[in-house]
Amino acid sequence: MIRRTIWVDAFCISLVSFGLISCGGGAETQTNPEKVNPSEPVSAWTLVWSDEFSGSAIDANKWNFEVNCAGGGNNEKQCYTANKENAFISDGMLHIVAKPAAEGAEKPYTSARLTTKNKADFKYGRMEMRAKLPFGQGSWPAFWMMPTESVYGDWPRSGEIDIMEAVNLKVKDSAGLVESNVHGTLHYGKAWPANQSSGKSYQLPGGANPADDFHTYAVEWQQGELRWYVDNYLFATQRQSEVRFNSKGEAVGLKHKGWFTEYFSQTDGALKTFWSIAPFDQEFFLILNLAVGGNWPENVNNKGIDASAFSNGQRFIVDYVRVYQCASNPDTGKGCETIRPGYDKLDDGLVEGKAPVPVPPSDGVAKNLTIFDGTPNPNWAAWDCCGGTTPSVVTDAQQGPVMEFKVAAAPTVNGFTTRAEFITDPAGVPSPFDASPLLETGTLSFMMQMVSAPNNPAAAWKLKVESNNAATAVELDLFASAEGVSPAAGVWQRYTFPLKQLAEAGLDLSAIDVVMIFPAWGNGEGAVYRIDDLAIMGPASTKPKLVLFADQENTDWPMWDCCGGSDPTEQMDDASHGVTAEFRIGATPTVMGFITRAANGGTDKPFDATPLLDGGVLRFEMKVVNAPATAGAAWFVKLESNNAAEAIDFNLTESIEGQAPVTGQWQTYSFPVAKLAEKGLDISAIDVVMIFPAWGSGEGAVYRIDNAQIYDPTADAEPGLTLFADQVAEQWSIWDCCGGSTPTVEQDDTDHGATAQFIVGAAPTVMGLLADDDVYYDASALLSGGMVRFDMKVISMPNDSSAQWLFKIEGFDAASAVELKLSDSLEGKNPTPGQWQTYSYRLQDLADKGLDVSAIDVLMVFPAWGAGNGAVYRLDNVKISQQ
């Protein structure tokens, strides 16, 4: 059964009952047709099919009649017939007429639905109709397309293209608003009822109504993009989703959130989400119909059906239907775009779709999540799905503050969710939880007290957990918990579910976003219950760390001379380094370092650095006591794994610090674990680390190594990066791009202390914080719930008082960048001179707008280019961190 409206079935009704939206009429288009002159179709469009309706009867070689009373899958109130009174040709036009049915008929109205299925099927092109639309409460004309073959599965997995729909035209509601919208929509995604749609409405200029005269409605469909037109004005564009990858090639977000689909992979047979041109890459057929009533028109404007509007028949009059093919490239439909400025901008013509954001790869580090422990977690809203109640925090005599849920007459489920549409706390951000590292040892647990039992005392109590927007879900009885008990009135009881139990039941642990606790659906009326200490937890987790040398030799990884016959020794150095590892190279070519292989004196304990892929480094300090006799000899670090199955090397100048050794100086060298892996090292079994002058060039060299380790420098610190707090971060600087000034550190009030001060002169410039060359901050692990936040105080405003203040952040040498107004921050305010103000931006929002968060290297705050002369301002507490 096809469900094909913008607001369909229970989805529309439930949203209306929640007060989240008002379905249908009264929406105002964001497009201003006065801005540009409409563009005519370019010459490469070639007419390939049409019906001018110039004959005496509907052409059976072109059109099929659907005959049924199924209600279109939308509870429509008509039967579709093949009767001439419902569809006929008159005066060179097609008339589709909806009229009252005979007394005693199955449905109160009759109408017609015509399709071209298997007679005219199309993939890409321009589909166009000139028509005058019907009107009245309950009227619903449509010009649309469905897939000829459901290649990707049942509706809407194989897609639906609504070229034009309108409901209740000319209806004036109680507020005096006259319905005049037409709509262009795509349907796609998961199987109903988890289907998705996205689209846009349009109103004719000058207050004209589509039911008063003929207008042309069209869609241009090409590979990866569809565009909607009324009278050749492009009012909406939709595109396929663009997956965003980080510098390691991992999918971490969407450059553009467009459509998606879910189907069974031909590779492994699993049901998966795909962000591609599918499902709009197959043949579709055309449909013309006039429905009466249904879930959409009956729930908007004046609601219901106005029988008087149909008493004499409502007419959908079609002058012609034409299909053009793009001769430039028929296989893709590209090259014939009828476009205008702004058609591809989100604040104008481009429509954002409903594609879910790809789940970032797990970093393999076990973390804990507290959903509720007396204080609401802003990222996890307490939630009544469908019953209309509002969960609330109450004080319990035993537990203190707890969350209380109630079940009224309407069937519902209650619990906690981190999905964006249900988060109400302004500080909250969608934060699906990756529990996969806790698989073997973690649990989901909570305390519950049943205050009042359901009216049905036999009602079963359930736990339901969903992941990745309900891509997977598990429902269990509460007595399936480790405690094996059912709720008892007035008693606090603990319920514990091992994560392994949930995973074995089919839950994807990598993106948990809903946890529900409730009496079985439809059996819970009268129940009142309380929840506390809801958490997903496991044993404390720490990232692995390998210390090769720090004040003494690691006996599992002894110092080693490969081939020169020497014995490296421990030697005292300066006060800050103490005991160090000293290596000497004689006449025989050799390499030196640390090894764990038993044949070379180690204990065969290879190091698995996989959990350090994100954020880990090989770091050591080195001092050359005597330089090699060979002047200019290059210095290297070399690593091997799995008994030399893989080996890589780097010149020391390729380190993050990028420096060559200087005799007599201690210097630090850092190499990201990610770079070791990218170069081909199997980081799961590292067994040799060598540091040496180039083979055959080292004679005479004496050098010392200290604090040599493979670890995550941030493992024991708060996640994130502080770019400025009293001083600028290491390997970053406060920076004036182009104005020639030197930002300074200035003392401010007691709360802020040392701050970064910027002064804008006559030369146009941007200012902020800049990473050193080849230094990038990987914020991928913070993507879920992470923030960019800073404090700012304007000492002097720009001479141009209208200057817009901006925030800009860049990644990977400006390969990606996002620029926003300060007023676009979560706080939504402009600077006030003399006041410290905080500005916050969600990391996920920045990623969705195109920032590669895996390689951030510039953060700027400034008055708009060329408008900042005279501005003096300070920044403090500039951080990229968790919420």
Active site positions, annotated:
160, 165
Q: Please list, in sequence order, all residues whose beta carbon lies within 8 angstroms of the beta carbon of residue 631, skipping any fewer than 6 positions away.
A: none
The span from the CA of 14 to the CA of 387, in Å, is 9
| Locus of tokens 């519902």 | 412
The tokens describing 777, both together, are: 């901050």
Alpha-carbon distance 474 to 472, whole Å?
A: 7
Q: How far is CA 262 from CA 190, 424, 471, 581, 645, in A?
A: 5, 29, 9, 57, 40
Nearest CA-CA partner of 189 in 8, 14, 27: 8
- Nearest-5° Cα angle at 31, 30 to 34: 140
DSSP class per residue in 453-495: --SSTTPPEEEEEEETTTTEEEEEEGGGSSS-----BT-EEEE
Q: Which residues does residue 121 pair with via DSSP β-bridges, in sequence order?
A: 285
Residues 6+ apart with CB under 8 A from 86: 80, 96, 97, 98, 99, 110, 111, 112
Dihedrals phi, psi of 665, to nearest 5 degrees = -120, 135
DSSP 382-419: EEESSS----EEEEETTTEEEEEEE--SS---EEEE--
Per DSSP bridges, beta strands 78-80 and 109-111 are parallel
The owner of tokens 């170069």 is 679
Taking the C-alpha atoms of residue 776 and residue 854, their distance in angstroms, rounded to an integer, is 8
Nearest of 449, 475, 468, 590 to residue 527 by alpha carbon: 449
DSSP code for 349:
T
> Which residue, among 435, 428, 431, 385, has the nearest Cα to 408 in the 3D structure?
385
Task: Identify whether 764 is preceded by a cis peptide bond (ω within 30 of 0).
Answer: no
Helix (H, G, I), strand (E, B) or coil at 261: strand
Q: Answer whether 165's CB lies under 8 Å from 142's CB.
A: yes
Q: Around 266, how many Cα atoms within 13 Å sit in the side-chain half-sphere?
A: 3
Measure the CA angle with vertex 575, ends 574 and 579; round to 5°: 70
Half-sphere exposure of 361 (CA within 13 A, CB side): 14
